[in-house]
């Protein structure tokens, strides 16, 4: 299921306020941007008013607040110091945050005092307040999300972190679209912020324990307990250490209400964990001389174009994988209309997708561009074939076959005949239910990004190849070490301790290098990662949607066992599961599941959009039904705090997204939907 995109506080952009005056000062840091050396802070702008300094940094730059706390100012952001207040704003002034140090007795009072100092007339209503466990060296954390109106399209947050007797309050404010493209810079600023005494747990320099019988027994017990606590029907896990599979097991069932268990052979949809497999195929073709990483895309696939002529000209095969081009996240309308939409059709829509940030200015994840990479590479190998069949054959011939991944496939019909995990999601009651197969058929046009099905047994072979730098467990070389490792080079900075490579997620977690890629799409969640310095790798697959509270805690528990980490995974799971349920129930409490028939009849009819296709709303036995053609859902009426009325979907896996705001102008009804950084308007179908 696709939830409404609510950005967590810790992902947002940052301004810092500290009590006391002074100008930000650069400090030494071991963390630099992916390609840009950290410069000295630029001098204050000459035109700044007296008592104010303005610094715009041209690279990620370590700085100090007036009180001595340290943080990193993201590349291109402006730091303004005004009477003790330090404000960080993005290039286009779309988002900002404020940090204030104060000695209030509790978080609520500290946040209120911060708003009063920065914006005395601030009077937004609290939407929700949560208290996640104190982590990363902080003693206590409290997060607040505020109500905003539908029309203003803003997200406003606050986060108070305590160290000893001081609260460090972050105030976040910006447009929804702005956060959509600026959250990586925000993560850099927010997570890098360190006050005096904040010492993060570190495993750097430690040697990983051997995963002996006792540790694996503890892990298995945690997985089963966690699966039940998170209400996950089925999970499969495999772990490698020293080049050998040391753990391979299924937990739970393939489908609720049925007895068939999950096993290491059970197929799951990998979602975005497909991406490193696609980039591996590109690496093999670079080895074969079909193209180079720096070959312009238009030389490989002449029909390629995005909504900017200069960017189209300069974009290389490598750039399609890097998340650094400025092209925003967008699924090109395939979430709705996908039956009959070919790979060629999907790529043709790229010409209407323009960049929303500068080239290499910010990290923006892109399913569409990565799909273009897979299709363009396959075209270089099989130029006479349609793009879809060419890609599937390229993956079979260059990746799945050589690696011995015998069960891995994009063929949904074959999956249905094989041992597979059924999709599950939440019903309006929050009960977990199985959803129709395949709930994620819409991924087809963008399959190189997220369409593959596999099991932990096959993925163990892939992980063994990654750890042995291009060789299968039998010693056969699949890809050169040079081009395998090229995929792991950082291309864009996605957070304080995270980077993105060539379809590869790169992280330094508590001082340990972690490589891989998570995945999540309607009704499936996956996580695949390895620790190259410690010769450990793992994969976890489950048949519920993201957000899945179990995903992150599995990785955390493994680190606890490997490095004698603090016992945090259990508490994190309890908090995540509780928070997720509260958020779901809060939103569903606004929904009338049986809306008035007269209201439904006023909206009934057919609507269309050039990309998203045609949708029809009709009334069946006093129940509203939205029919997209490829799928359909019952509908409800949601009333927001500001009085905005929305038409929302109430059948799994569609609960939470999309949401439509009906508008009537001059007697014409249109349906308005927000899709990431795009505002989509469905117009009524004209009668012939």
Q: How confident is the model at residue 50 (pLDDT cuts 50, 70, 90)?
A: low
Give the 3-state secondary structure of residue 449: helix
Residue 440 has pLDDT above 60, yes or no: no
Q: Which of 519, 520, 521, 488 is nearest to 502 (CA)?
A: 488
Range(s) for CATH 3.40.710.10 in the chain?
213-583
> Can you give the C-alpha Rg of the chain in angstroms?
25
Q: What are phi and psi of 633, to 5 degrees?
A: -150, 150
CB atoms < 10 A from the CB of 223, how many? 23
Which single residue is written with the structure tokens 């930000």? 24
Tokens of 292: 């180079």
The pLDDT value given to residue 3:
44
Where along the chain do the CATH 3.40.1000 domains lie?
9-192
Average pLDDT for 375-389: 98
Per the prediction, the chain carries an average pLDDT of: 90
* Statement: residue 31 has pLDDT above 70: no
Spatial contact of 652 and 586, defined as CB atoms under 8 Å apart: no
CB 33 within 8 A of CB 58: no
Predicted pLDDT at 51: 67
Whether residue 519 has pLDDT greater than 70: yes
pLDDT at residue 678, as a whole number: 85
pLDDT score, position 49:
66
Q: Quick one: DSSP state of residue 260?
A: P
CA distances from 688 to 236, 610, 684 (A): 53, 18, 12
Q: Which of 83-92, 120-129, 477-486 has the lowest mean pLDDT?
A: 83-92
Give me the pLDDT at residue 552, please: 83
CA distance linking residue 536 with residue 514, whole number of Å: 10
> SS3 for 470?
coil
- The C-alpha atoms of residue 443 and residue 423 are separated, in whole angstroms, by 14
Q: What percent of the chain has pLDDT over 70?
A: 91
Q: Give dist(CA 378, CA 610) in Å, integer.
A: 27
Per-residue pLDDT reduced to its tens digit, 528-578: 999 999 999 999 999 998 668 887 899 999 999 999 999 999 999 999 999
Neighbours of 454 (CB within 10 A): 25
pLDDT for residue 255: 97
Residue 83, pLDDT > 90, answer no
Residue 561 to residue 388: CA distance in whole angstroms: 43
Give the model's pLDDT for residue 76.
95
Whether residue 493 contacts residue 501, with contact meaning beta carbons closer than 8 Å, is answered with no
- Could you tell me the two tokens for 490? 């950082």
Three-state DSSP class for residue 472? coil
Within 10 angstroms of residue 10's Cβ, the number of other Cβ atoms is 22
DSSP letter at 276 equals: H
Cα 591 from chain centroid (whole Å) = 26
Is the per-residue pLDDT at 234 higher than 90?
yes
Q: Does 65 score more than 90 pLDDT?
A: no
Cβ contacts of residue 271 below 8 Å, gap of 6+? 440, 450, 519, 520, 521, 524, 525, 526, 546
- pLDDT band per the 50, 70, 90 thresholds, residue 477: very high
Instruction: Identify the pLDDT of residue 67.
Output: 87
As to burial, measured by CB atoms within 10 angstroms (0-12 exposed, 13-18 middle, 19+ buried), residue 515 is: buried
Ranges in the chain annotated CATH 2.40.128? 591-684
pLDDT at 7 over 60: no
Asked if pLDDT for residue 4 goes beyond 80, the answer is no
Show the CA angle centred on residue 328, arms to residues 322 and 333, nearest 5°.
Answer: 115
Q: Report d(CA 516, CA 509) in Å as an integer.
A: 13
In terms of Cα–Cα distance, which of 72, 33, 92, 14 is closest to 363?
A: 33
- Say what the pLDDT of residue 436 is: 79
Question: How many angstroms separate the CA atoms of 24 and 665, rounded?
Answer: 51
| Structure tokens, 20 | 């006391």
Task: Please give the structure tokens belonging to residue 81.
Answer: 């110091």
pLDDT mean over 494-502:
96
The pTM assigned to this predicted structure is 0.92
Listed in sequence order, the DSSP H helices in 96-246 are 107-118, 176-192, 213-229
**What is the distance between the alpha carbons of residues 428 and 42, in angstroms, rounded to a whole number?**
53
The predicted structure's pLDDT at residue 11: 31
Q: Judge whether residue 495 has pLDDT over 80.
A: yes
**Above 70 in pLDDT, residue 18?**
no
**Can you tell me the mean pLDDT for 411-425?**
94
Q: 213-583 belongs to which CATH class?
A: alpha beta
Bridge partners of residue 627, in order along the sequence: 616, 632
What is the b/e burial string over 32-53, where b = at least 16 CB atoms within 10 angstroms of the residue's CB?
ebbeeebeebbebeeeeeeeeb
**575-606 tens-digit pLDDT:** 999 999 999 999 999 999 999 999 999 999 99
| CATH, domain 591-684, list 2.40.128, 2.60.200, 3.30.420, 1.20.58 | 2.40.128
Give bridge partners of residue 531 from the DSSP assignment.
536
Return the structure tokens found at 314: 């300069």
Strand (E) positions, 119-233? Answer: 126-130, 140-146, 154-163, 166-175
Q: Taking 70 as the threshold, does the pLDDT of residue 21 lie above it? A: no
Residue 42 has pLDDT above 90, yes or no: no
Give the C-alpha separation, 232 to 251, whole Å.
10
675-680: long-range pairs with CB below 8 Å, 24+: 675/330, 675/331, 675/335, 676/5, 676/180, 676/328, 676/329, 676/330, 677/177, 677/180, 677/181, 677/328, 677/329, 677/330, 677/356, 678/328, 678/330, 680/609, 680/611, 680/612
Q: Which residues contact 367 (CB under 8 A, 6 or more apart)?
A: 272, 329, 330, 331, 446, 449, 450
Question: Is the pLDDT score of 614 beyond 90?
Answer: yes
The pLDDT of residue 452: 96
CATH of range 9-192; options 3.40.1010, 3.40.109, 3.30.70, 3.40.1000: 3.40.1000
Q: Which residues are CB-contacts of 385 (< 8 A; sequence separation ≥ 6)? A: 378, 393
Highest mean pLDDT among 86-90, 283-287, 327-331: 283-287
In which band, very low, low, confident or very high, does the pLDDT at 128 lie, cut at 50, 70 and 90?
very high
Are the beta carbons of 428 and 591 closer than 8 angstroms?
Answer: yes
Q: Which residue has the higher pLDDT, 210 or 439?
A: 210
Per-residue pLDDT reduced to its tens digit, 426-437: 999 999 999 876
Q: What is the pLDDT of residues 256-299, one digit of tens each?
A: 999 999 999 999 999 999 999 999 999 999 999 999 999 999 99
Other Cβ atoms less than 10 A from the Cβ of 427: the count is: 14
The CA–CA distances, whole Å, from 335 to 35, 383, 396, 444, 638 equal: 35, 28, 26, 10, 22
Instruction: Give pLDDT, residue 151.
Output: 92
Q: What is the 3-state secondary structure (H, E, C) of 517-557?
A: EEEEECCEEEEEEEECCCCEEEEEEECCCCCCHHHHHHHHH
Joined together, the tokens standing for residue 517 give 């890629």
Per-residue pLDDT tens digits for 649-673: 999 888 888 899 999 988 899 999 9
CA-closest candidate to residue 13, choices 170, 119, 126, 131:
170
């Amino acid at each position: 299921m696709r939830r409404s995109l609510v950005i967590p506080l810790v992902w947002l952009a940052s301004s810092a306020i500290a009590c006391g005056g002074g100008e930000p000062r650069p400090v030494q840091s071991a963390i630099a941007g992916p390609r840009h050396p950290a410069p000295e802070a630029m001098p204050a702008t000459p035109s700044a008013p007296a008592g104010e300094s303005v610094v715009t940094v041209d690279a990620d730059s370590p700085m100090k607040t007036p009180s001595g706390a340290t943080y990193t100012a993201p590349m291109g952001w402006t730091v303004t110091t005004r009477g003790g207040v330090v404000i960080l704003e993005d290039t286009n002034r779309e988002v900002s945050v404020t940090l204030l140090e104060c000695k209030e007795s509790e978080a609520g009072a500290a946040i209120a005092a911060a708003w009063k100092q920065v914006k005395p007339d601030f009077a937004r209503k609290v939407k929700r307040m949560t208290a996640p466990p104190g982590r990363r060296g902080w003693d206590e954390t409290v997060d607040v999300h505020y109500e905003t109106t539908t029309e203003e399209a803003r997200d406003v947050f606050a986060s108070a972190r305590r160290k000893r007797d001081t609260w460090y309050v972050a105030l976040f404010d910006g447009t929804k679209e702005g956060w959509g493209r600026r959250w990586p810079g925000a993560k850099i600023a927010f997570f890098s912020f360190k006050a005096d005494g904040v010492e993060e747990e570190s495993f750097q320099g430690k040697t990983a324990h051997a995963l002996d019988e006792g540790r694996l027994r503890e892990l298995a017990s945690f997985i089963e307990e966690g699966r039940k606590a998170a209400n996950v029907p089925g999970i499969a896990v495999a772990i490698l250490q020293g080049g050998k599979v040391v753990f391979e097991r299924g937990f739970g069932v393939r489908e609720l209400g049925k007895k068939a268990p999950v096993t290491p052979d059970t197929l799951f949809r990998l979602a975005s964990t497909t991406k490193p497999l696609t980039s591996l195929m590109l690496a093999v073709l670079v080895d074969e001389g079909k193209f180079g990483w720096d070959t312009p895309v238009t030389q490989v696939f002449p029909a390629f174009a995005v909504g900017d002529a200069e960017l189209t000209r300069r974009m290389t095969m490598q750039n399609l994988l890097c998340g650094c081009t400025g092209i925003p996240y967008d699924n090109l309308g395939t979430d709705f209309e996908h039956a009959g939409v070919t790979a060629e059709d999907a790529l043709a829509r790229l010409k209407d997708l323009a960049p929303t940030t500068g080239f290499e200015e910010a990290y923006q994840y892109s399913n569409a561009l990565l799909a273009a990479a897979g299709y363009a590479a396959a075209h270089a190998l099989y130029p006479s074939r349609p793009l879809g069949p060419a890609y599937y054959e390229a993956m079979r011939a260059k990746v799945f076959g050589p690696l011995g991944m015998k069960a891995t496939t994009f063929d949904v019909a074959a999956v249905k005949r094989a041992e597979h995990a059924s999709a599950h999601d939440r019903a309006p009651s929050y009960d977990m239910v199985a959803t129709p197969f395949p709930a994620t058929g819409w991924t087809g046009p963008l399959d190189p990004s997220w369409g593959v099905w596999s099991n932990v047994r096959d993925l163990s072979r892939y992980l063994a190849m990654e750890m042995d730098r291009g060789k299968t467990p039998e010693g056969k070389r699949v890809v050169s070490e040079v081009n395998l490792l090229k995929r792991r080079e950082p291309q864009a900075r996605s957070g304080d301790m995270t980077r993105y490579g060539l379809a590869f997620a790169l992280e330094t977690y508590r001082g340990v290098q972690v490589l891989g890629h998570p995945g999540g799409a309607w009704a499936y969640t996956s996580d695949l990662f390895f620790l190259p310095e410690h010769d450990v790798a793992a994969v976890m697959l489950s048949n519920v949607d993201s957000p899945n509270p179990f995903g992150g805690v599995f990785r955390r528990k493994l680190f606890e066992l490997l490095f004698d980490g603090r016992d945090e995974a259990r508490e994190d799971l309890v908090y995540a599961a509780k928070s997720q349920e509260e958020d779901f129930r809060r939103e569903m409490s606004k929904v009338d599941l049986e809306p008035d028939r007269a209201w439904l009849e006023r909206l009934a009819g057919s609507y269309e959009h050039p990309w998203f296709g045609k949708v029809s709303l009709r009334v069946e036995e006093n129940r509203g039904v939205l029919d997209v053609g490829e799928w359909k859902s019952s509908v409800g009426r949601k009333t927001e705090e500001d009085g905005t009325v929305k038409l929302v979907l109430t059948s799994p896996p569609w609960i939470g997204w999309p949401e439509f705001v009906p508008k009537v102008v001059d007697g014409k009804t249109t349906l308005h939907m927000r899709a990431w950084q795009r505002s989509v308007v469905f117009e009524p179908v004209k009668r012939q």
